[in-house]
Amino acid sequence: MALVKVEQVSKQYQQDSVVVEALDAVDLSVESGEFMSLVGPSGSGKTTLLNIIGGLDVPTRGKVWIREQEIGRLPKSQLSRLRLREIGFVFQEYNLIPVLSAVENVEYVMLLQGVPDKERRERAESILGEVGLEEYVHRRPAQLSGGQQQRVAVARAIASQPAIVLADEPTANLDSRTGAALLDLMRDLNERHKTTFIFSTHDPMVMERARRIVTLRDGKIVDDHTQTGARK
């Protein structure tokens, strides 16, 4: 079975007296190791779909499976454990804990997972080295540039060894050079660790590097194709 399976998922929101259909009977299957982008204009439903896959939002109708578990049937405690073990999140606002250093931010999810102290610190320092921040491990977020903070966020997302990393507009607050370097880093991590990456994005640089592009419009998938010539 696919790593992620979305079946006939719809999502409605109430705005004043108007019902907005953010997603309309979406079907999607994602295999392990994919590097893919959800694209489309604002309001197309891509971020909503990403949040539903991550269990951060609940569909009005339809079902979602992660590793053969239908997440809509899980109690909140089990859903939290699944997110903790299986899913890493990268947000455009970084969402780092300001009072913690870079290495402590990366360690945080592993702390919640119960990873022993020594292993946790070694793994956090190693992954920060992979993202080029070995000299900044003890700096707090306010002492880092935007690009460095996003690298910490990526390191945090993958240090817990999740099956999937969900990245919502990860380059939105970065200049083009920093954004390109970060994307190349994530592509490299995907290839070396076989971690599945799913992006929600408007950024052409992300689309160039994605191996699969799923296009949404008005809450529906209107195109789904693999790029044989994805930029490396």
- Each residue of 50-68: pLDDT tens digit? 999 999 999 999 999 998 8
Residue 179 is assigned to a structural domain of this protein? yes
Taking the model in full, what pTM does it have? 0.89
- Each residue of 157-207: pLDDT tens digit? 888 888 899 999 888 777 888 888 888 888 888 888 888 999 998 888 889
pLDDT at residue number 231: 64
Confidence band of 232 (pLDDT split at 50, 70, 90): low
Residue 231 is assigned to a structural domain of this protein? no
pLDDT at residue number 151: 87
Residue 83 is assigned to a structural domain of this protein? yes
Task: Supply the mean pLDDT for the chain.
Answer: 90
Tell me the three state secondary structure of residue 132.
coil
d(CA 35, CA 55): 20
Structure tokens at 184: 């190349």
Report the domain count for the chain. Answer: 1
Residue 95 is assigned to a structural domain of this protein? yes
- Each residue of 86-98: pLDDT tens digit? 999 988 788 899 9
**Of 73, 108, 88, which is closest to residue 167 (Cα–Cα)?**
88
Q: 10 Å Cβ neighbour count for 33?
A: 15
d(CA 33, CA 79): 22
For residue 212, what is the domain's CATH number?
A: 3.40.50.300
Tell me the three state secondary structure of residue 120.
helix
Residue 232 is assigned to a structural domain of this protein? no
Residue 205 is assigned to a structural domain of this protein? yes
Tell me the three state secondary structure of residue 10.
strand
Contacts of 193 (CB under 8 A, 6+ apart): 158, 161
d(CA 96, CA 142): 10
Which domain covers residue 119, as residue numbers? 4-226
pLDDT at residue number 172: 79
